[in-house]
Structure 1
Amino acid sequence: MVPHLSNEEFFTSLADLLSKTSQKARGSVFLSQKPLIDGVSNAPPSILIRATDGNTNAPNPKSESKDGKITKKASSKDKIKFSTVVNASDLEAFYTRYADICKAGMTGLKKRDRSKRKAKGKGGATKAAKA
């Protein structure tokens, strides 16, 4: 198990991950957070913040070999994941900087093309055929 990063190390790693993802033609960054509750104290809970690039080493069920067995392709890179714990007293300052880094990292990303999904949802077999 990888230990949690300090807040500064987390911000540096998150900025690097967002910049690498925006430079590639495709990719995802997943951000999650949850409270860390210890049943002992009545203090406000700390928050666990996680970031990952979404790469998994799980085999693709559609990539079967000729004999019908699912084979795991060799991945050239491993999944990047890191986390930090933020105390309740530091949350406001943390979220301010966190939002700034996320906004700065997302400027190079392009918006997903959802036109096919919208056309399909509106009875778009005819609309999709026309396009």
Structure 2
Amino acid sequence: MAPHIGTEEFFEALTNLLSTTTQKAHGSVSLTQKPLVDPVTNGPPSILIRASDGNTSAPRVKKDGKIVKGSNPKVTRVKFSTVVPADGIEAFYTRYAEVCKAGMTGMKKRDRKRKAKGKGGAKAAKA
């Protein structure tokens, strides 16, 4: 796995990833986070933040270096991560929220129409 990048580089890469996904008018961006507990310090945990373009057809490589069957070697997957120390979490999340909100401008609103029920559905119960 690639080493973690700094927070400024992370924000630049995340901005680029969100803008390219918006320009393509399709695709997804996966953002995950988890605490990194250091058993030596016993202090508040650092946070590992990961971002990916969600490209599931990209080649997956096993630990021995072989490509998993069924994956497309021509497609690349964008993945990057950063570690945020416990004392900088609040400032990080403030900027993180701004970058994410700015990158979501091209999103479509979810269609919340209900599908019509067949025989014995909601209409039949009212009668």
Q: What is the TM-score of this pair, normalised by structure 1?
A: 0.75
Mark the CA change 1:112 to 1:40 in structure 2 (over 3 Å): closer, same or farther.
Answer: same
Deviations 1:20-78 (A, max 9, x none): 0011121000111000012222111000000101112379xxxxxxxxxxx72635421
Root mean square deviation of aligned Cα: 2.3
1:35-74, aligned counterparts within 5 Å? Answer: 35-57=35-57, 72=70, 74=72
Deviations 1:57-108 (A, max 9, x none): 379xxxxxxxxxxx72635421111000000100111000000000000001
CA distance in 2, matches of 1:45, 1:35: 6
User: Partner of 2:117 in structure 1?
Assistant: 124
* Equivalent AA in structure 1 for residue 50 of structure 2: R
Q: What is the TM-score of this pair, normalised by structure 2?
A: 0.77
User: Partner of 2:87 in structure 1?
Assistant: 89
User: Partner of 1:4 in structure 2?
Assistant: 4
* Equivalent AA in structure 2 for residue 13 of structure 1: A
**Runs of at least 4 residues off by over 4 Å:** none
User: Where in structure 2 are there 5+ consecutive unaligned residues?
Assistant: 60-68, 122-127
- What is the identity percentage for the equivalent residue pairs of Structure 1 and Structure 2? 60
